[in-house]
Chains A and B, each alone.
Chain A
Amino acid sequence: MGSGETMLVAMTVNGKAVSRDVDPRTLLVQFLRDNLRLTGTHVGCDTSQCGACVVHIDGNAVKSCTILAVACESSAVTTIEGLAAGGTLHPMQEAFREHHGLQCGFCTPGMIMTAVDMVNRRGPDLDEHTIREDLEGNICRCTGYHNIVKAVAAGAQAMGETAFKQAAE
């Protein structure tokens, strides 16, 4: 294959199998936004520092602006659009609304995907220090972080309760 040619990539995005012909240069975030029209994942920088582009690949939070789409062959990707179940917000999304964890909302998809990953890795009981440390790679220009930290703590608790209810059912 020579430079400038496209190649076929296939992956699962929010539970749906997708495949497209792409230029190998296509970043995962471009693939999501431009090819699949999933524009909830944002691009806030070109230095891999802001975290507006965070999605989950095979269950891990990663920066989709720093991964080639073709390198995600056969992976399972979850974006912010894939969190809500039908018309019901995910508990972490609900917590951001409840606690005013956003102002302009630009950083919010990345914040929420990072927060959900934090709970998956560490469980629902998160102290303020841990939350602030783990938000290291997510930059917000509006809120001053205070309400984001509150939202993440509350969302984590709510995720814990949901998991508990599901286990009990």
Chain B
Amino acid sequence: MYAFTYQRPTSLDDAMAMLGDGDAKLLAGGHTLLPTMKQRLAAPSALIDLGALRDQLSGVTEEAGGVTIGAMTRHGEVAEDPIVKRVIPALAAMASVVGDPAVRSRGTMGGSVANNDPAADYPAACLALGATIRTTKRQIAAADYFTGLFETALEAGEIITAIHFPKPEKAGYEKFRNPASRYAMVGVFVAKTAEGVRVTVTGAGANGVFRAQDFEQALAANFSADAIKAVKMSPDGLNSDIHADAVYRAHLIGVMARRALDKANI
């Protein structure tokens, strides 16, 4: 790890001011950033630890029928939260399969969404549920937020404060874990929402999370696993690597989508 200065602001204003400085980076749970720094793939000049803002930036509230979750809320807290479990059980279930218990007691929703790893789980949930990402500057619709591999609409110095998830009529998530990393080799989030049916895929797209629109069309009239049995996912634009080639990933998307639909329809 290269040297950096460490700062622990006690207000968002201070955090924003500190971020203005060189290539400073925010530190949330550190479960992506620190491994990357250990490998010397990232070398921020300063770490701005949001730890002292945890009280202010974490927790779940019910809002407009859906849920609003603070950026510093940990995966394990989302998984166990009674409001999330009642209002959007699929979101709690998704959080319960991020990494392992120790990762879930440290890693945060905000860190995951800011990082936009192409194999992370949260991006699929945000895009399928039509979430709104709230920052220190503005509100960003999930559809405009995830812009590519590890790329988001966040500007320099912008801090995610919370994410609002509208309540879907039905939703489900299923992932096929990479046997080594436990990230999604393919993860599919299905949701029947006021905006229509959404089927989002993580772990498979060469450009990060995406909507599987052929599945969405087939599900518009009949939101069930049967409705997509005959729909074939094209391997075009999917990843091939040592774990799975694009054809296998395309196949897995269909299987995961059908399992997610079965969960959503319980």
Contact = CB atoms under 8 A, between A and B. Distances in A.
Given A3-B4, A46-B39, A73-B8, A62 B105 contact: yes
Interface stretch (B27-35, B115-123, B150-158): B27-35
Interface residues of A, number: 34
A71 B101 contact: no
A67 to B, nearest CB: 6
Nearest to A118: B101
A61 B27 contact: no
Interface of B: 1, 3-6, 8, 27, 30-31, 34-35, 38-39, 45, 47, 49, 51, 76, 99-103, 105-106, 180-182
Nearest to B6: A24
A51 interface: yes
B156 to A, nearest CB: 21
Contact of A47 (B5, B35, B49, B76): B35
Nearest to A66: B34
A73 B54 CA distance: 14
Contact of B102 (A4, A5, A73, A137): A137
Contacts of A48: 31, 34-35, 103
Interface in A113-153: 114, 117-118, 121, 134, 136-138
Contact of A63 (B27, B47, B106): B106
Most buried by A among B8, B27, B35: B35
Contacts, number: 85
5 contacts: A48-B103, A62-B102, A63-B102, A68-B30, A136-B101
Contact of A7 (B6, B39, B51, B101): B6
Nearest to B39: A46
Nearest to B103: A137
A35 interface: no
Interface string A2-27: 11110100000000000000011101
A66 B3 contact: no
A33 to B, nearest CB: 16
A71 B29 CA distance: 10
Nearest to B181: A49
A134 B31 contact: no
A42 to B, nearest CB: 14
A61 B102 contact: yes
Nearest to B34: A66
Given A54-B102, A62-B105, A134-B101, A2 B5 contact: yes
A70 B6 contact: yes
A9 B135 CA distance: 31
